[in-house]
Amino acid sequence: MGAQKKRAAAAAAAARVSEDPDDLARQPLQAILLADSFTTKFRPITLERPKVLLPLVNVPMINYTLAWLEAAGVAEVFVFCCAHSKQVIDYLENSEWFSQPNFTVKTIESHNIISAGDALRLIYEQNVIHGDFVLISGDTVSNMSLTQALQEHKERKKKDNNAVMTMIIKKSKPSPITRQSRLGTDELFMAIDPNTKQLLYYEDKADHSKGTICLDKMLLAENPSISLHNDKQDCYIDICSPEVLSLFTDNFDYQHLRRHFVKGLLLDDIMGYKIFTHEIHSSYAARIDNYRSYDIVSKDIIQRWTYPYVPDVKFCGNRATKLERRGICFTAFNSEIEQSRSAQVGSFTVIGYGTKIGSNSKISDSVIGEGCTIGSNVLIEGSYIWDNVIIEDGCELRHVIVCDGVIMKAGAVLKPGVVLSFKVVIGERFVVPAYSKVSLLQQPTVHDSDEELEYADNSSGTVEFSSIQGTADQSNGEMTSESSEAHKPKLGTGGVGYIWSICEGGQEEEWRHSVAPIPEDKLTELSEAMDDDQELVTQDRTALSTSGELISDSNASEGDDNEDSKDDSVYFEKEVEATFLRAVEENVKVDHVILEVNSLRLSYNMTSADCAGAVFYSMMKLAIKTPHSSAIGLLTLYPSPFSMVASNAYPIYLSGELQQNTANIITTWQKLLKSYLLEIDEEIEIILKFEEMCLESAKEFSPLFARILHILYDKDILQEDAILRWADEKEGADESDKVFVRQSEKFIQWLREASEEED
Amino acid sequence: MPDIQALVSDLASKLRKRRVQGSYETARLTAELLCAVILQHKEPTTNGAASLIEAVRRVGEQLIAANPVELAVGNIVRHVLHIIREEDLSPLTDIVGELKLSAEDDVEDIAEDENSQKSSATTDGCLLKPPLLLAVFEHLPDSATACQTFSSENIFAGKGKKLKSELIKAVNELIEDINTCREGIAEQAMELIHQNEVILTLGHSKFVKEFLCAAKEKKRSFEVFIADGAPKFEGHILAKELDKKGLKAIVITDSAVFAMISRVNMVIVGVHAVMANGGVIAPAGLHVLALAAKKHDVPFVVVASTHELCSLYPHNLEVLLNEMRCPSELLNFEEFSDCIDYGIASSSSLLHVVNPAFDYVPPELISLFVTDIGGYSPSYIYRLIADYYSSEDLPPQQKPAS
């Protein structure tokens, strides 16, 4: 009888499982979880611990992803480990994920993989994926139900074999001021067919300085209607057909999932593969991409938007926490904390197991890990403090991340945005400047070449990464002792660790991705900058009005053309100037400069006269910038009869050396200039430009106008015809316009006489 | 054993992940699981019942810890423990040779009629617990252990098997009870709902639905006001279901209960759990409704099954625990995403959303409980609880607290 009952119970259990609405798929759903983000955004922390194991509200991130995958009905997950793979595998082996019924977790390990593309190629070789799969990275938090998205994907796939991928998106307005989403990622532009939800365009690195984005004309021609969004957030959860893996194998240059794969598919007409989107509304999904999103997602979790993945629900073997009412809102506590009576723990705070809090300390909006010791009179605000941290009396922490084992001596202060990596010691009363990153490991040297930098910026600097890993491990032991001596002054008395220098260029952008909220002065600065080119912004706002439908035959953009070109010419001039200055600094060959300017000319659709004008303009600018020292001495050497004209306004002594400088520059770069002077019109353009400069932007030249004209003539840059025609043109102009014609009267006369003589 | 352990952890994980919710569903699954636990339990030659009690309690603790908010789990575990203790005593009486008949009756009565079981329990006299006397309560642990040691000495292998089969029978009857509790409640609908009455309910409760439908099937004609039960608006589902049954349903908002209460003859609601003092833990919004009913002297009737009876008092720690649910039930995250932007120093998250799931309604606001074993007033609930649970099985957390 017993056995019978048992069987009945088992059958009942089986029936229950199959009734489960999540369990739609006939064949078990598989998932690939990339336990490596292939980026360097979380350095220096990720030098010592993989990103997926970083605690997010006291639970390693990967648990959120795995718990969601399990809840979403995924039966088998392949965890792809690369950097620190041993740590990831060890962690998973000790967790309960390997012993779940109806949910298998398998790890795939590789060390020489530098991008998501390589990882997928490796998985394809292993031949483990048999049907549709979910592609996700191990730093994603979600509570959405996959059922509907999966069903849509399958139905589309049945109808159209080319529908290989469904991308999950979510509405999220980017801030108009900072041009980034609340998760700190760049504003994303997407064109979606409103009827079929097909993704037609994807651009996450739009150039905001231009204020425009370019769509392929064919998009408008081929699709009856498209809607263009800038208020969607990419959740980085993709439902893929097995073809995706083979596509990665076929296109061995695909590295990045979005930048290469998605854009590649969208541009590639030959194969005709299509990507669709699925928008989620009430559920939550976000990926932790940088420190800012770490902060934002943590707060979302504490505010329970990610329910049931919240601190007081044990979704993955985390310790039980309970909520306590603090004012209106709630604070999650572990049962065994020691809290002094006078300590104030504010709302939206999570405090881990075994933590001690001293008297008169104030903690608000923060996450404190397990086994921390917090002294008295400590102020902690909006910070993330991991496990076993010791904070002595009187420290102040605002909007910082403090990793495991850090010791902060009494009175130390961390300014907003600071990240302290593992086991750093901050000396007594030391103030760590805002946005600095402190680690026991030394900062890896940044390669100087432009390309390398960009490579690191793009999410794939892992070659570099792994090599550092090796050295870091070796030197770890000695460094602690060494650094305590060598760098003592850097972190106060008794401090241990290196402050990483923020790489150039990044400095300016540091506030964008930091844990600290954007400071207000930054915002006002930005919004002022915006007001300056208000026109531009409004123009682009209307063009990209959120989710407005563009009808394919609209001529709306034509009206803007004039203004566009005006703006364009300004930008073009700036670009040329920048190119030229760089060429001067770096001694680039003239031929190369010509090539670069030509490419700029093509991209901005300019005439060669414009080029000539712009190049000349930049040369003259350079001449002004070149320092004029010992100018007074030169004045006597180059007494100028014309200089008296403007002598009231400008010191005369400038003119001598300025002229010399100009002559030098013209000599050096005449080839460049000449390459654009194909006809006489361009030469006249230069003269006009020069005249304009003398009147407006570079009045220093006005006394030297005739002389420089002469130099230009001497160097065969201007032909006499051009000068004469210019003079003729000016004949009928106003008196005020004739200043320079008059100035160069002698010279022109001489030219005329010379030509007559020749005749 | 590993098989059982897998089943246990499976249910525990389901509870943990909030994939099984609602008192009816959790009660049923828990009872089924405990049945399997008893079935698979390999008792040692001596001391059968004690080890069985230990095994059930261990499983119970796991399940309760998995989701302390679902009080029905604890109720079922304690009830099963109570059954084991009772069954354990009956072979003892068998050997003693006294009260044999009443004990045999006792076993069968558990299923058939709780009232008679109660009487039989009282006939057991001092051996079983008299529910009223506190002094006897204090002695009980001693007497119970004495009984156990006494019984274990006398239990032979054959007796152990008999105990087990009796237990299985009793637990199966419990499962049967849980499955049929709705019908038991619905049977009483005719006595409570009269012709042309106006009934008000809030949200969606399966018990209320069955109750109303039962009255409708017996040709009573009446109207139902349904407060829609924000934020989940499950009242809308109830309205649809009643419409299919041909009942006139009028949907109102939660905030309109005071406006409509004067036209209502009776309020009927379902609850999450019934406390030992006669108060109830109920979906948020019910306290307001109860106050409105009190104000206008409208009867406030709670339908609840016996598995919702909870041996805890509302001041117990685990009851104070309110489930804070997802704020996205209240408002759309996307719409407010720019308000919930913590990334900007000036406006750091001023907007918060709090979504508690439950209300506590004190006993003085409740007129009547309709359970599957009849109607009771709130002041009688403690008696029912004494019949259903043994005092030894009260949650361990309560002991250090008191």
- Chain A residue at shortest CA distance from B165: A2
Question: Cα Rg for chain B, rounded, in angstroms?
Answer: 23
- Angle, CA A686 vertex, CA A608 and CA A642 arms, to 5°: 170
Report yes or no: B339 at the A interface, CB cutoff 8 Å: no
Report yes or no: B175 at the A interface, CB cutoff 8 Å: no
Give the HSE-up count for residue B286: Cα atoms under 13 Å, Cβ half-sphere.
32
d(CA B115, CA A485): 83
Check pLDDT > 60 for residue B2: no
pLDDT band at A231 (very low <50, low <70, confident <90, very high): confident
SS3 string, A277-293, reads EEEECCCCEEECCCHHH
Each residue's pLDDT tens digit, A85-105: 889 999 998 888 887 777 889
Each residue's pLDDT tens digit, A146-162: 888 998 999 988 888 88
Residues 64-93 of A with CB under 8 A from B: 67, 71
Residues B353, A295: C-beta atoms closer than 8 Å: no
Query: Quick check: B266 and B299 in contact, CB under 8 A?
Result: yes
- How high is the pLDDT of residue B376? 92
Each residue's pLDDT tens digit, A687-716: 877 777 777 776 667 777 777 778 778 877
Q: Which residues of B8-40 are buried (b: 16+ CB within 10 A; e: fewer)?
A: bbbbbbbbbbbebeebbebbbbbbbbbbbbbbb
- pTM here? 0.69
Closest-CA residue to A172 (of A114, A255, A231, A102): A231
- Name every chain A residue with its beta carbon within 8 A of the beta carbon of B25: none
Burial class (CB in 10 A: 0-12, 13-18, 19+), B339: exposed
Check pLDDT > 80 for residue B299: yes
CB pairs under 8 A between A and B: 123
- How high is the pLDDT of residue A634? 36
d(CA A511, CA A526): 12
d(CA A4, CA A12): 12
- How high is the pLDDT of residue A208? 63
**Once rounded to an integer, what is the mean pLDDT over residues B10-35?**
85
d(CA A243, CA A78): 17
Query: Beta strand pairing status for B223-227 and B248-252?
Result: parallel
Query: Quick check: A543 and A529 in contact, CB under 8 A?
Result: no
Check pLDDT > 90 for residue B201: yes
d(CA A542, CA A223): 21
Each residue's pLDDT tens digit, B304-343: 998 898 888 887 765 666 778 888 888 887 777 766 666 6
Length in residues, chain B: 402
Rounded (to 5) percent helix, strand, coil in chain A? 45, 20, 35
What is the side-by-side order of every strand in the sheet holding A225-229?
Answer: A199-203, A189-192, A225-229, A549-551
Where are the extended beta strands (E) located within A241-289? 274-280, 285-287
d(CA A479, CA A486): 10
Check pLDDT > 50 for residue A304: yes
Residues A296, B7: C-beta atoms closer than 8 Å: no
Q: How far is A188 from chain B (nearest CA, A)?
A: 16
Check pLDDT > 80 for residue A353: yes
Closest to A282 (Cβ–Cβ): which among B9, B333, B354? Answer: B333
Q: Is the peptide bond before A28 cis (omega within 30 degrees of 0)?
A: no
Give the HSE-up count for residue A349: Cα atoms under 13 Å, Cβ half-sphere.
21
pLDDT band at B231 (very low <50, low <70, confident <90, very high): confident
Check pLDDT > 50 for residue B101: no
Strand partners of residue B232: none
Residues 18-77 of B with CB under 8 A from A: 18-19, 32, 35-36, 39-40, 65-66
Query: Quick check: A254 and A248 in contact, CB under 8 A?
Result: yes
**Once rounded to an integer, what is the mean pLDDT over residues A485-498?**
66
Check pLDDT > 70 for residue A175: yes
**Once rounded to an integer, what is the mean pLDDT over residues B6-13?**
84
Task: Report the complex ipTM.
Answer: 0.76
Where are the extended beta strands (E) located within B286-325? 300-303
Strand partners of residue A203: A189
Show the tokens assigned to B213: 């439908």
Each residue's pLDDT tens digit, B115-168: 444 444 444 433 434 443 333 334 444 444 444 444 444 444 455 667 778 888
Residues A175, B338: C-beta atoms closer than 8 Å: yes
Show the tokens assigned to A372: 């921390």
Query: Quick check: B240 and B228 in contact, CB under 8 A?
Result: no
d(CA A43, CA A50): 10
- Name every chain B residue with its beta carbon within 8 A of the beta carbon of A184: 343
Mean confidence (pLDDT) of chain A: 75
